[in-house]
């Protein structure tokens, strides 16, 4: 009795376990079937897309062949038209003889109108003839003279004069050079720059013109400093030897604050 009970119990347990396992396997089988169906649908969709793309590609190829055929026909027709155009002479060349023929006809009245103009200068010729007849009365020495030689001779004279005026400040003074550092505003550096320009005496600075001042200031990178420090007035007093007046007007000259 006990053995039969255990056998029945084992059978029931086996049925339950089998049913549970079968349910699990059935669920997994259903999920696999769903995956297979989904994969098949995707495959069908890809095949449809592939067929559509193939159709579009074929349509594009057909369109390309049509365009190439049309292009070849257009080139052939344009080549034939160009050959015909080159075989025919231009209309401008055909019309030039007519223009050439009509030109002499129109030129004749113009020549006829211009003919009286040639007779007009006769009074002027008569005047020139009388002037030439009266010319021998003048002295023969004055006839060859012209105004151009006078201008050309005056120009060379003016040019050396301008060059001489421009270089008066650059020529060094004869004799021993002066101590330019006595002037207010001239130190060792400015003295070297002035000597490089040929300025070595007070007399040269006293004779400076506005052009010389501009030239010196451009070289020494000054801006109105010569006029502010009164170089020309100082140089005039020292060149004249008026030491008393120089010391009175410029008391700081020769001191430490000279420059």
pLDDT tens string 29-69: 998 999 999 999 999 999 999 999 999 999 999 999 999 99
* pLDDT at res. 227: 92
Q: Which two tokens stand for residue 232?
A: 């020309």
pTM of the full predicted structure?
Answer: 0.35
pLDDT (tens digit, 9 = 90+) per residue, 185-215? 899 999 999 999 999 999 999 999 999 999 9
Residue 175 pLDDT class (50, 70, 90 cuts): low
* pLDDT at res. 77: 87
Q: Do residues 216 and 224 lie in contact, with contact meaning Cβ atoms separated by under 8 Å?
A: no
Q: Do residues 205 and 232 lie in contact, with contact meaning Cβ atoms separated by under 8 Å?
A: yes
Q: Which two tokens stand for residue 230?
A: 């009164």
pLDDT (tens digit, 9 = 90+) per residue, 114-123? 333 444 444 3
């Amino acid at each position: 009795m006990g053995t039969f009970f255990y056998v029945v119990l084992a059978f029931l347990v086996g049925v339950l376990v089998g049913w549970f396992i079968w349910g699990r396997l059935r669920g997994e089988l259903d999920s696999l079937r769903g995956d297979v169906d989904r994969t098949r649908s995707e495959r069908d969709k890809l095949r449809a897309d592939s067929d559509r793309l193939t159709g579009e590609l074929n349509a594009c190829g057909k369109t390309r062949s049509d365009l190439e055929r049309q292009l070849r026909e257009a080139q052939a027709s344009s080549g034939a038209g160009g050959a015909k155009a080159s075989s025919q002479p231009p209309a401008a060349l055909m019309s030039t003889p007519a223009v050439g023929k009509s030109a002499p006809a129109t030129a004749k009245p113009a020549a006829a109108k211009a003919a009286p103009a040639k007779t007009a200068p006769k009074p002027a010729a008569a005047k020139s003839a009388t002037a030439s007849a009266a010319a021998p009365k003048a002295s023969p020495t004055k006839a060859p003279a012209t105004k151009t030689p006078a201008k050309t001779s005056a120009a060379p004279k003016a040019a050396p004069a301008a060059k001489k005026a421009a270089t008066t400040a650059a020529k060094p003074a004869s004799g021993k050079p002066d101590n330019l550092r006595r002037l207010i505003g001239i130190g060792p550096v400015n003295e070297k720059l002035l000597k490089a320009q040929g300025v070595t005496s007070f007399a040269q600075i006293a004779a400076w013109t506005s052009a010389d001042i501009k030239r010196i200031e451009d070289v020494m990178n000054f801006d109105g400093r010569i006029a502010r420090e009164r170089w020309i007035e100082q140089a005039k007093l020292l060149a004249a030897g008026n030491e008393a007046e120089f010391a009175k007007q410029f008391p700081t000259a020769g001191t430490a604050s000279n420059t």
